[in-house]
Chains A and B, each alone.
Chain A
Amino acid sequence: NAGVTQTPKFQVLKTGQSMTLQCAQDMNHEYMSWYRQDPGMGLRLIHYSVGAGITDQGEVPNGYNVSRSTTEDFPLRLLSAAPSQTSVYFCASSPTRNQGSGYTFGSGTRLTVV
């Protein structure tokens, strides 16, 4: 059981480049979300999805796009990378909208924008 798989683990981008961070879960979870983690800032929600075809914005959505065409996959797209997007990105999933379920996190993607 793989859980939540994020790829790549590390990435260096030049300012202005675009890329997609991949996230896949094999637990048939309805809810998926993307967070970024920066020193001293904790985990901040970028975008989330409550099911295939449904996405919504979190606290810090600017500069990022998401889509959810299948239950399993929830890619995060950086449209034009900026140094301020240097961070560690985590994808998480939860089985239902039941808030007591808890979230399963991937191991993260460390992104550096130069």
Chain B
Amino acid sequence: TQLLEQSPQFLSIQEGENLTVYCNSSSVFSSLQWYRQEPGEGPVLLVTVVTGGEVKKLKRLTFQFGDARKDSSLHITAAQPGDTGLYLCAGTQGGSEKLVFGKGMKLTVNP
């Protein structure tokens, strides 16, 4: 059973388009993290959200944590080819140190 479900799993878009990636669960998380991974490399942390309803912006990326802390979204404005990669959401629950991952969303931005 996958604790964190990401959608869509694959997305291929043209440069300049906007997109939203969703990370959903039936469970409450104490924190949600988003990572980006390029081929042959390890995931790199983009952002951590810990408060329900929290919104964080990182240049053209906007991250939101759901009010009930069960879901999160990542919105990319005016996507660029450099945004191509695997986007992973991950979360921790309660007092646990364990970080569980969704399966990821593979994004391709075509010039």
Residues of A within 8 A of B2 (CB): 42
Q: Are A103 and B41 in contact (CB under 8 A)?
A: no
Tell me the number of A-to-B contacts counted with CB atoms below 8 Å: 62
Q: Are B48 and A40 in contact (CB under 8 A)?
A: no
Among A48, A100, A105, which residue has its beta carbon within 8 angstroms of that of B43?
A105
Q: Given A31-B97, A97-B97, does the pair A90, B31 have CB atoms closer than 8 Å?
A: no
Q: Given A45-B98, A97-B97, A99-B50, does the pair A40, B103 have CB atoms closer than 8 Å?
A: yes
Q: Is B40 an interface position by the 8 A CB rule?
A: yes
Q: Are B41 and A45 in contact (CB under 8 A)?
A: no
Alpha-carbon separation in the docked complex, A76 to B44 (Å): 21
Tier of interface size on chain A = 20 to 34
Alpha-carbon separation in the docked complex, A103 to B44 (Å): 8
Among B31, B41, B43, which residue has its beta carbon within 8 angstroms of that of A99?
B31
Alpha-carbon separation in the docked complex, A16 to B48 (Å): 41
Q: Are B48 and A102 in contact (CB under 8 A)?
A: yes
Residue in chain B with minimal CB distance to A6: B42
Among B31, B41, B43, which residue has its beta carbon within 8 angstroms of that of A43?
B43
Q: Is A25 an interface position by the 8 A CB rule?
A: no
Among B31, B40, B88, B100, which residue has its beta carbon within 8 angstroms of that of A45?
B100
Q: Are A107 and B97 in contact (CB under 8 A)?
A: no
9 smallest A-B Cβ distances: which pairs? A105-B42, A42-B103, A102-B45, A99-B31, A43-B101, A99-B92, A100-B50, A100-B48, A42-B101
A interface residues, Cβ below 8 angstroms from B = 4, 31, 33, 35, 40-45, 48, 50, 58-59, 90, 92, 94, 97, 99-108
B interface residues, Cβ below 8 angstroms from A = 2, 30-31, 33, 35, 40-45, 48, 50, 88, 90, 92, 97-104
